[in-house]
Amino acid sequence: MSSSSQSTKNIFSLTEDLLVRVYEKLAFESDRKSFRLVCREFRRIDSLTRKHLRVLRVEFLPSLLQKHPQLQSLDLSSCPRIDDGVVSLLLTRVGPGSNSVSWASWTQGLRRLVLSRATGLRFSGLEMLARACPSLESVDVSYCCGFGDREAAALSCAVGLKELKMDKCLQLSDVGLAKIAVRCLKLEKLSLKWCMEITDLAVDLLCKKCVDLKFLDISYLKVTNESLNPIASLLKLEVLCLMACPLIDDAGLQYIERGCPSLKAIDVSRCEGVGSSGLIAVVRGHHNLVELNAGYCLTELSSTLLHWIKNLKQLEMIRIEGARISESGFQVISTNSKSLLEIGLSKCVGVSNMGIMRLISGCINLRVLNLTCCHSVTDAAISAIADSCRKLVCLKLESCNMITEKGLCQLGSFCLLLEEIDLTDCCGVNDKGLEYLSRCSELSCLKLGLCTNISDKGLFYIGSNCTKILELDLYRCTGIGDGGLEAISRGCKKLTKLNLSYCNEVSDRGLGYISNLEELFDLEMRRLDKVTGVGLEAIAAGCKRLADLDLKHCVKVGDSGFWALAYYSRNLRQINLSYCAISDMALCMMMGNLTRLQEAKLVHMTNVTVEGFELALRACCVRIKKVKLLAPLRFLLSSEILETLHARGCIIRWD
């Protein structure tokens, strides 16, 4: 017997529980997909053990739910056509008798349900889901433009909810939130970001009923200090997010000082009324604070506030973006250096090399450092960071124009765990700097936008050594051409996001190389003047996972490229065709064939007539969620199509 056949026999002699254990060790979806394609038995193991399912097309839902009865998490955020009727069909199971109806088996173990952007789902569908899933603990209905008080009342039937996310549910008012507060008494995490109709009244009731809340996000709400009084009574609250709440000020934060004994993290960034005295109150009352985000709400980091911050011995994250800070202030913050994992100093005034050196001298555990727009930072500071912060995984240096290859040499020598670095608009970065940086083999995100001194040679170093890169930004890197893309396509096979906008030397040949990146998910290629339909055809045929595509100002791409998109790119969810030379027929074919398309930007398309826009919108009106059109079309398109789009929850942005 050959060794290969013996190996095959050994694999298939494994018991079911051993195969399950092997499957559970597979961390990446691509590996799990390969596993289930081996044979029927491996596919059966996948069906039995799969706990999470993210569905892209609603027509596959019935068969998928039947194959995976053990689901604990179901994500339907990419199914724009799901509505109450679809939910009814999915939930109902008819028994042997004509009157025997019960809930489908997949509902019994479901704990997490993601319905964000499900614009067609209303109160009856939500109520059916809430009643059919007895184990439901987490629901996300963010950005559901039709979600209002009736829908909130329906969702409140899920009395076991512990986590609820309702970001930007603009029709939700105090009435709907009151229904949830009264019935969902086990709530531990609640996000109401951008729910603009919520007032102090509902927040007060929420805090009285849901006393187990540990996480509360009311960012961007027009609640006042009156809301902070009941919030302070939440004994278990650990995280409080108040970002950009314009009516909250220092007086309100006095309540937090005397309450919330379990508070570990607070975010008051962009709160115009919050100053040093309010933050002093919070810090004074919570010596165990772990995270403090005060970005863009302080003009200056006062000595008194620094005195109290010094007492936060467990502080792991501090963000003070936009504030003026003295060199002595850096020294005070550094007293907590051993516990600090993240420091945010974006756009801070007074950041100097000496200040940075004092700050990070003992930051041996620092993971994230943001120095965006700290223009005085030079290679000396970067060298100090590299020497002290060997565990650094994220470094943001956008617009730090004085950084050169010398600083990158130090990073490449000592910060070998670096996963993300932002060098956008750092004009001192060149090919030699990228050679040094390529020693950071763990890099997954590299941003080089506006770095005009790099060329294909620099990308060759990145492609050769940084094989784990997932995101690469080359925006306006005018020295980049087809040769650099060849190097990236050979070495960075896991790339999911790529920005080539305004890289004018890139041609169809370069896109041919990019078409070999099978995992590519997001591609920006604005104004690539040398690219034609041939290049777009290659992308469409090769990058089957592509979901976001920006073709703005690609004026030389003809209909052949758009036909290819319509035929191959069935996973596209967002597309920008503004200023493209597409015809009526090609636009209609694309909008009709791309069944997962949710957002389209369609302005200044001179070859498309009013009739072409009308037919294209009719072809996609059942699923499109957001579309951008020129303002004059408001008066030229039929009222019927505009009313249909509105009824379906589509948001039209008139440019």
Quickly state the pLDDT bin for 60 (edges 50, 70, 90): confident
Furthest-apart CA atoms within the chain: distance in Å: 82
Residues 6 or more apart in contact with residue 258 via CB below 8 angstroms = 232, 285
pLDDT in the model for residue 11: 64
Say if residue 180 is exposed, middle or buried (CB neighbours under 10 Å; 0-12, 13-18, 19+).
buried
Question: pLDDT tens digits for 128-169?
Answer: 999 999 999 999 999 988 899 999 999 999 999 999 999 999
CA distance 166 to 168: 6
Q: Kindly state the average pLDDT of the residues 47-68.
A: 82
**Residue where the block lists tokens 């997932």:** 470
Would strands 445-447 and 239-241 be described as parallel, antiparallel, or unpaired?
unpaired
Determine the pLDDT at residue 98.
Answer: 41
Spatial separation of the C-alpha atoms in residues 147 and 117, rounded to whole Å: 10
The end-to-end CA distance of the chain, in Å, is: 71
* CB contact set of 203 (below 8 Å; sequence gap of 6+): 218, 223, 227, 230, 231
> What is the pLDDT at residue 503?
97
User: Are the C-beta atoms of 46 and 36 separated by less than 8 Å?
Assistant: yes
**pLDDT at 80 (0 to 100):** 67
Q: What percent of the chain has pLDDT over 90?
A: 77
| Count of Cβ atoms closer than 10 Å to residue 46 Cβ | 21
d(CA 532, CA 561): 8
User: pLDDT at position 94, please?
Assistant: 41
- The 3-state DSSP class for residue 232 equals coil
- Percent of the chain beyond pLDDT 70? 96
Q: Which residue has the higher pLDDT, 5 or 448?
A: 448
Say if residue 8's pLDDT is above 70. no
C-alpha to C-alpha distances, 321 to 29, 245, 298, 300, nearest whole angstrom: 37, 17, 8, 10
pLDDT value of position 101: 47
- The label of the residue with tokens 């945010």 reads 344
Residue 374 corresponds to which amino acid? Answer: C
Q: What is the structure's pLDDT at 389?
A: 94
Phi/psi of residue 3, each to 5°?
Answer: -65, -35
Closest C-alpha to 168, from 204, 138, 136, 143 = 143
Residue 605 pLDDT exceeds 80: yes
Find which of 2-11, 90-99, 340-349 is predicted with most confidence, using mean pLDDT. 340-349
H or E stretch at 226: helix 225-231
Residue 378 has what DSSP assignment? B
pLDDT computed for residue 6 by the predictor: 52
How would you classify the pairing of strands 497-499 and 522-524?
parallel
In this prediction, residues 411-415 reach a mean pLDDT of 96
For residue 326, which phi and psi values (nearest 5 degrees)? Answer: -90, 165
Q: Strand, coil or helix: what is 101? A: strand
Strand partners, 266: 240, 292
Q: What is the pLDDT of residue 83?
A: 86
Mean pLDDT of 407-430: 97
Q: What is the mean pLDDT of residues 125-129?
A: 94
Kindly tell me the burial class for residue 19, based on how many C-beta atoms sit within 10 Å of its own C-beta (0-12, 13-18, 19 or more): buried
Give me the chain's average pLDDT, please: 92
Q: 191: which strand partners?
A: 165, 217
The DSSP result for 121-170, as a single string, is --HHHHHHHHHH-TT--EEE-TT-TT-BHHHHHHHTT-TT--EEE-TT-T
Lowest mean pLDDT across 100-114, 140-154, 537-551: 100-114
Residues in the chain: 655
**Least confident interval from 38-47, 256-265, 439-448:** 38-47
Instruction: Please give the average per-residue pLDDT across 600-615, as a whole number.
Output: 97
- Is the pLDDT at 341 greater than 80? The verdict is yes
28: DSSP letter:
S
Q: Which of 218-227, 307-316, 331-340, 388-397 has the lowest mean pLDDT?
A: 331-340
**Among 6-20, 113-127, 573-587, which is the least confidently predicted range?**
6-20
Mean pLDDT of the region 490-511: 97
Q: Is the pLDDT of residue 537 over 60?
A: yes
Cβ contact 530:506 at 8 Å: yes
Instruction: Output the pLDDT for position 383.
Output: 96
| Averaged pLDDT, 435-446 | 97
The residue-averaged pLDDT of 263-285 equals: 96
3 state SS of 472: strand
